[in-house]
Amino acid sequence: MAASHPPGLRGNLDPSPPMQTHSRPHAAHPPRSLASGVHAAIKKKKTPPPILASEVLREDLAPTEPGRRASRLWDAVVAVLFLAVGICLRFDLGVADLAPQAGAICLAAAAAIGATALVPFPYVWRAAVGGLVGAVVVVAGLFGGGPLALLGDAASATWLESFRVITCVALPAALLFRSHYRAYERGRVLLATSFVLALPFLVEEAFLATQGVAIARVGAALALTGTLSALIAFMPAPTTSVTAWCAQTLTFLVALELGLRQFHAPLPAGSGPLAYALTGVAFFASVVPIALGLFQMLSFVYSREARLVDLHRRPSEPPRETQQPASSD
């Protein structure tokens, strides 16, 4: 006979399994790469800060080391010119008989300037080495030696050739400085000082442009025009490329005047058939590194001060007139 259980205890003795609760299903997250967090951290760490527009403008109007790459290219060009003149002097086409060491000086200058173009010298050291090499060649020429031995010969006076050198060094350096520091007022002061130093050369060239043979007048007029083209840099904001071209054109035209003596000045005894032409090329190759060196030295000295110029300064506006309110009757 089966035992009967009280109605109240039957539910507790029921062998049915207990009720189970299930969690609410959630959407599965996409699988995450193990290195994603590392990549995000590295990207966040290496992301440079944004460049402000004022910083870009400041670097454009007041660069720290202007002409760093261009100076190396010009040093390479100058080295090739010195090498070419030295080879021509070895074949007695220039002043080799007047200055026996002219060819050796050219080859040494080519090696020194070529080293500044190939070796990554610091900014100031490249300027100093190039300027020193060019200055040695010019000084030797003013004293009657080297490839510029014809400076100060019967066709011209030594003092005039000295001011020719000063003009082709001071004015191009001031033009390059003015072109890279357009918002810096000292650039105009340096340019005005350069014109004062070039004044004797300008007066003499103006005098030569009105007398003598036609080719001599043309050469003097070209040199005068190239020098006066530097006046464009006195503009409120001269264009960098135009001002730099004025510096190059000035040096080229003044050197061209020396080369044009080949067609109207008598050749000194003992000189080769291309004496004046090679003198013009050697003059150009000598003054270019001096001008570049002076420009880079000026940039090194004044770049910090030039970067302090207020780029957001506006010209002062005239005070507005106070208007009286119209009285109504």
pLDDT score at 158: 85
The pLDDT tens digits of the residues spanning 220-249 come to: 999 999 999 999 999 877 777 888 899 999
Residue 324 has pLDDT above 60, yes or no: no
CB 150 within 8 A of CB 126: no
Q: Report the interhelical angle of 186-208 vs 214-228 (nearest 10°).
A: 170
Judged by DSSP in three states, 88 sits in: helix
Does residue 286 register a pLDDT over 90?
yes
List pLDDT tens digits, range 46-83. Answer: 555 444 344 544 555 578 889 889 999 999 999 999 99
Quick one: CA dihedral 50, 53, 58, 59, positive or negative?
Answer: positive
pLDDT digits (tens, 9 = 90+) for 150-193: 986 656 688 889 999 999 999 999 999 998 898 888 999 999 99
Structure tokens that stand for 116 in this block: 């500044």
Indicate if the pLDDT at residue 321 is higher than 60. no
146 and 100 in contact (C-beta within 8 Å)?
no
Query: Comparing 187 with 17, which gets the higher pLDDT?
Result: 187
Half-sphere exposure of 258 (CA within 13 A, CB side): 29
**HSE, side-chain direction, 13 A CA sphere, residue 310:** 4
What's the pLDDT tens digit per position in 243-280?
889 999 999 999 999 999 999 988 888 889 999 999 99
pTM of the full predicted structure? 0.77
| Among 59-63, 112-116, 145-149, the least confident range | 59-63
Strands (E), 139-259: none
